[in-house]
Structure 1
Amino acid sequence: MGHGRQIDGLTCAGAVVDKSMLKVVETMREVQPLIPRPWNRERFVAAVGDYRGRTIRLTAMDSPVLRGSPCGVWLVFEEYDQIIYDANTSDYHADQTILHEVGHMVLDHHSCGGVNASLAKLFPDVDIAAAKSVMARSRFEDPQEIEAETFADMLMASAVSRFRKSGSMDDLWG
């Protein structure tokens, strides 16, 4: 036997894997078939919307609150979900931000607070009052944020990164 450790069916070579990371890995495996080859952000988000049974709208916004920020916002409305991200960032960073918010969705995360009326001033083109909930990053060390960022990192490595056509990535993700 090697030096690996068996944790909930996953053998890891010296790594500590907790239930949170197992949840991320399992969810990533479920979502993996939805990734279009070659990568296409809009097709992926549409496929995730179909998978969840809820339309997801992407909104690139030029907002001072998003400018230079590593974060996006996920708004839950009665009929659909909306992801708002910085319109003035690179495609790569936009993908990372969007995949982070998608991570919250597929990992079944929930906002800890209600809809903040001050968001209406930050996003004047969005009907914030109609939103049922808002997921916006408040603390980087929050467990839901860590899960969503790990999910986004894994998906970026699998589908979006410059290594996406490498044999080693195909070997890793199938």
Structure 2
Amino acid sequence: MALLKKYRFAVFSLAVLMTLFFFDTPQGITALQVTAFSVKEMLMIVPPIFILLGLLDVWVPRETMVRFMGTGSGVKGVLLAFFLGSAAAGPLYGAFPIAAVLMKKGTSYRNILIFLGAWSTTKIPLLLFEMTSMGVPFMLARLLVNIPGILFIAWLVDFLISDDERQRLYLNAEHLAR
């Protein structure tokens, strides 16, 4: 029963897919093809991310991460968080396991938020696509809005979150990163 409760969303989605397949077979086949494509794509992205996470966890000592991205890292930590997030490839769901390992290694909460913001909005492949399809002025205008926005949101959330909540998040991240 606990297993069913844990995977209730997947079971519900499967039931909806089967119902759709029963009532509208062509639409059900299309939905099944889209689902299979998404699962295949995810299986091609997630294993390399977890391999890199394992290497990061083993090769980078906690003291090094605290020095470069911890609470006292200042501008150096912010720039490194931006660089790591911008240089990343893959969908946003790949950033969250990395963020959990960074939290386990002692990265400040603000730098975690900057990393996630950079991953979602300033990735280098995205910038290259924008530059070629929409032009340099658009790309630069978006960056000039997004970068201060990421910094402001990271600062605001870091300021508003209580120490108890921050501690709970770090404990959850450490539990998940095992």
After TM superposition, the score normalised by the length of structure 2 is: 0.30
The structure richer in strand per residue is 1
The structure richer in helix per residue is 2
Q: Which structure has the larger Rg over C-alpha atoms?
A: 2
